[in-house]
Structure 1
Amino acid sequence: MIHTLAIAGYRSIRNLVLPLEQLTVVTGRNGTGKSSFYKALRLLADVAQGNVISSLAAEGGLQSTLWAGPEQFSRGMRQGVQAIQGTSRQNPVSLKLGFASDDYGYAIDLGLPIPSASMFNLDPEIKAEAVWAGEMLSRRNAFATRSGPAVTVLDESGRRSTLTSLLAPFDSMMTHAADPRGLPELLLLRERMRAWRFYDHFRTDADAPARVARPGTRTTALSADGSDLAAALQTIREIGDPKGLAQAADDAFPGAELRIEESAGRFELLMRQHGLLRPLKAAELSDGTLRYLLLLAALMTPRPPGLMVLNEPETSLHTDLLPPLARLIGEASKTCQVVVVTHDATLADALHDAGALRHDFTKSLGETVVDAADRPAWTWPER
């Protein structure tokens, strides 16, 4: 389980270190930084996929995603007696992401490139990385560190040696230094991060992929676009918890029954509702009903990931569906760590009542802030 998440220099997040629990809900008004928090988590996952540079480019490049305020706020700025203004920087410009779990931790520091004649001169560079054992990075527990192009590892004899001094600035040691013999811990951590799942605003429009019959194969993880919804639900029935699936559907839609029809290998979802003479096809379901069924398939996966992140799952749902959604999320958190980002107070309250750790985001001088009872200790890797 991830117990600490750290973000620095990303959009409205100047410096945030948050504790996480098995179930965590992040909430707050619009514009308080919830989306930045969600995107930062996705960027962390992109490191393990080797896509962090391209993902930042899709957001407009590093310059567009960096914290735009001053490096530090003086007491006068916070009290409103001094104008908000920049000062001479004490540290290099950087975007930092990291987490610590029960056994391993990882952090990455991305910075501006050295000006050159390259046409890729806007790409950020990976300046530093570290993988360690334990709660917080220190020299004693770091078994792989990267500074510039050099990667240093702790070998079996306990000595530090240079694995490579030629790592490209756009390559992470997570993808280019993982070795099942020399660095099995890094390989294990990378595969864990690759298994994280993110669900954000399923399409429910008339042309949504989930509304049409599609070729079906065993689906233990619902795709991000929901196109394999029917196959995912049938997989839960065959190798997951069919009784729990039926109960969860009835909890949200009393008297409803889900059916999956197969024709020439194509799977189609139908839903029989109390009082109707025929089942409705997915194409006929309301946006809210379809979205709930997509969340149902995602959360009842027969092979839970280490981490599942839901961004605004309440979108287009009627308030009557929020209590059963909270129960569904709470049940899912028994088998995998779940983080929910929502602006809906009803859902946030229901999850908090179910035992979720709650973080309420607010803005102060343009900066995302949160009153965490205990801010975890954190150390970033040195460049």
Structure 2
Amino acid sequence: MAMIEGFRIRNFRALKDITMGRIGTDPTFSRAEPLTPLVSVIGRNGVGKSTIFDAFSFLSDCMVMDVESACNEGWRGGLEKLLSADVQNDPHATLDFVIYYREAQNERPITYEVSIGLDPKSGRACVTSEKLRQRRQRETSGRPYTFLDLNFGVGQAWAGQRSVQDDTDTRDKMEVTLDPGRLAITTLAEHIKDHPRITRFRNFIKGWYLSYFTPDAARQTPKFRPERHLNRRGENIANVVHYMATQDQDRFRNILKRIGQKIPGIGQITPYVDPVTRNVYLQFHDKGFTTPFFAPQMSDGTLKLFAYMLLLEDPEPPPFICIDEPENGLHHKLLADLAREFRFHATGRKYKPQLFITTHQPFFVDALTPAETWILEKQANGFATISRASDNATIMAMVNEGIPLGNLWYSDYMDDGMV
């Protein structure tokens, strides 16, 4: 499973310039520890946790639509509103992203760099610069080789399987002119099939799962149709349950067993398809009642925990899963268990998705390690800074004395200049 070892975001609202993990092409961060399979960002309300989440969502949206549309998607309000406040009036300002990742543990890392700004001709948002770089085979040092290099859609790209094996072979070098309104990795992957590395990277980002789950969406009654994967809002949860209950019964029984350990009273969850309307209903069988409850009658916390378990037990999980504040609606005693569930699924299975979580709940933080925990703070100038808990000697000294991270977070030892 692919793994993001580090990323950088610049000029994205309150994220003026933050870096997490290792960026192999940047001397400042090339020796940093890579990101862990489970990454958690903690911080107070309003510091920018959800902004990091939306930065990932923005990149994911750019894979399926043009960048102008992605800038205007939802409540983003266009490129000008996305740019950090101090550069909104600069016509040359850009949103900058760097992703440093490996397709597999033993694969050479790939660096993706993209900048999005204004097209001077059309005045619309466009891709001003885009690069993909990878170190040559058998090389462990030196500058990675650039096999995609475009400015405003014009530049070079490498094609062919041969270029994957031997980056010094120039026969597969192509001059390309593309629409700068779309990411080149999307255009090349869709229309020029002979770009294996570009296609795999595009599919990696396109496969990200960013959870916008809401209990009200899960309470909807969908029409029956087979669906294997939970969508972002959870409207199709009943169809996913029906598919799993009929096609993967052992996995579904395992989910029910683990749900029962966390939510006492839930004995069974079954889908029911109305033979007339073909609507699918979720039935929750409480051990104390003979008549089942339906999803609209269940608590937010029960629906949310059940949705997370379905997502984590997906036999073909997304490579990268983002969940913003999973603690909302859950009993505080469930939170440490939920954090451990996240870690288990990120590290203890054959197919290991990387999980990126934002939270401000001390009980969730208690189950985290310092290496998994990143502290986001807002400075006096309104911009956010981020640091890893394991890089702070004071925090590590107290953790080594047996003090849980959540206690340190609750007691203000992890922000506001206390460390």
CA contact (8 A) 1:174 1:186 kept: yes
Could you tell me which residue of structure 1 aligns to residue 200 of structure 2? 188
Q: Which among 15, 26, 29 is matched to residue 44 of structure 2?
A: 29
Offset of 1:262 from its aligned partner? 2.4
Offset of 1:92 from its aligned partner? 4.0
Once residues 180 and 189 of structure 1 are traced to their aligned partners in structure 2, the CA distance between those partners, rounded to angstroms, is 14
CA contact (8 A) 2:14 2:382 kept: yes
Q: Does 1:210 align with 2:221?
A: no
CA contact (8 A) 1:259 1:269 kept: yes
Once residues 132 and 254 of structure 1 are traced to their aligned partners in structure 2, the CA distance between those partners, rounded to angstroms, is 51
Could you tell me which residue of structure 2 aligns to residue 343 of structure 1? 360
Once residues 66 and 289 of structure 2 are traced to their aligned partners in structure 1, the CA distance between those partners, rounded to angstroms, is 48
CA contact (8 A) 1:359 1:370 kept: yes
Q: Does 1:198 align with 2:210?
A: yes
For residues 98 and 236 of structure 1, do their structure 2 counterparts lie closer, same or farther at Cα, with a shift above 3 Å needed? farther
Once residues 336 and 386 of structure 2 are traced to their aligned partners in structure 1, the CA distance between those partners, rounded to angstroms, is 25
Once residues 292 and 135 of structure 2 are traced to their aligned partners in structure 1, the CA distance between those partners, rounded to angstroms, is 53
Q: 1:295-340: per-residue Cα shift (whole Å, max 9, x none)? A: 2222221211111111111112221332332233223213211111
Q: Which among 260, 276, 286 is matched to residue 271 of structure 2?
A: 260
Moved more, 216-225 or 151-160: 151-160
- AA at the equivalent of 1:18: M
Moved more, 105-114 or 31-40: 105-114
Q: Does 1:168 align with 2:185?
A: no
- AA at the equivalent of 1:366: G
Offset of 1:150 from its aligned partner? 0.8
For residues 126 and 138 of structure 1, do their structure 2 counterparts lie closer, same or farther at Cα, with a shift above 3 Å needed? farther
For residues 216 and 132 of structure 1, do their structure 2 counterparts lie closer, same or farther at Cα, with a shift above 3 Å needed? farther
For residues 345 and 229 of structure 1, do their structure 2 counterparts lie closer, same or farther at Cα, with a shift above 3 Å needed? same
Offset of 1:161 from its aligned partner? 3.8
CA contact (8 A) 2:327 2:335 kept: yes
Which consecutive residues of structure 1, in runs of 5 or more, have no partner in the other structure? Answer: 72-85, 375-383
Offset of 1:367 from its aligned partner? 1.4
For residues 181 and 285 of structure 1, do their structure 2 counterparts lie closer, same or farther at Cα, with a shift above 3 Å needed? closer
Once residues 7 and 363 of structure 1 are traced to their aligned partners in structure 2, the CA distance between those partners, rounded to angstroms, is 15
Q: Does 1:132 align with 2:133?
A: yes
Q: Does 1:278 align with 2:313?
A: no
Matches within 5 A, 1:34-49: 34-49=49-64
Offset of 1:280 from its aligned partner? 0.8
Once residues 70 and 366 of structure 2 are traced to their aligned partners in structure 1, the CA distance between those partners, rounded to angstroms, is 33
Q: Which among 141, 152, 157 is matched to residue 145 of structure 2?
A: 141
Once residues 78 and 209 of structure 2 are traced to their aligned partners in structure 1, the CA distance between those partners, rounded to angstroms, is 24
- AA at the equivalent of 1:95: L
Once residues 137 and 93 of structure 1 are traced to their aligned partners in structure 2, the CA distance between those partners, rounded to angstroms, is 32
For residues 333 and 218 of structure 1, do their structure 2 counterparts lie closer, same or farther at Cα, with a shift above 3 Å needed? farther
Q: Does 1:250 align with 2:260?
A: yes
For residues 97 and 48 of structure 1, do their structure 2 counterparts lie closer, same or farther at Cα, with a shift above 3 Å needed? same
Once residues 70 and 193 of structure 2 are traced to their aligned partners in structure 1, the CA distance between those partners, rounded to angstroms, is 30
Could you tell me which residue of structure 2 aligns to residue 367 of structure 1? 383
Once residues 184 and 64 of structure 1 are traced to their aligned partners in structure 2, the CA distance between those partners, rounded to angstroms, is 35
Could you tell me which residue of structure 2 aligns to residue 75 of structure 1? none
Report the 3-state secondary structure (helix = DSSP H, G, I; strand = E; otherwise coil) of the residue aligned with 2:366. helix
Q: 1:109-137: per-residue Cα shift (whole Å, max 9, x none)? A: 011231x5x5xx3x212100011225999
Offset of 1:180 from its aligned partner? 5.8
Once residues 242 and 133 of structure 1 are traced to their aligned partners in structure 2, the CA distance between those partners, rounded to angstroms, is 41
Q: 1:153-173: per-residue Cα shift (whole Å, max 9, x none)? A: 2354622744323x2221211
Could you tell me which residue of structure 1 aligns to residue 396 of structure 2? none
Q: Which among 230, 234, 250 is matched to residue 226 of structure 1?
A: 234
Greater RCO (CA < 8 Å, at least 6 residues apart)? 1
Higher share in helix? 2
Once residues 310 and 30 of structure 1 are traced to their aligned partners in structure 2, the CA distance between those partners, rounded to angstroms, is 16
Q: 1:11-30: per-residue Cα shift (whole Å, max 9, x none)? A: 01111110222110111001
Report the 3-state secondary structure (helix = DSSP H, G, I; strand = E; otherwise coil) of the residue aligned with 1:214. coil
Could you tell me which residue of structure 1 aligns to residue 116 of structure 2? 110
Once residues 323 and 243 of structure 1 are traced to their aligned partners in structure 2, the CA distance between those partners, rounded to angstroms, is 23
| Identity of matched residues, % | 23
CA contact (8 A) 2:19 2:386 kept: no
Could you tell me which residue of structure 1 aligns to residue 82 of structure 2? 65
Offset of 1:251 from its aligned partner? 2.2
Could you tell me which residue of structure 2 aligns to residue 97 of structure 1? 97
- AA at the equivalent of 1:131: L
Once residues 82 and 141 of structure 2 are traced to their aligned partners in structure 1, the CA distance between those partners, rounded to angstroms, is 26
CA contact (8 A) 2:271 2:282 kept: yes
Could you tell me which residue of structure 1 aligns to residue 406 of structure 2? none
Once residues 9 and 134 of structure 1 are traced to their aligned partners in structure 2, the CA distance between those partners, rounded to angstroms, is 28
Could you tell me which residue of structure 1 aligns to residue 412 of structure 2? none
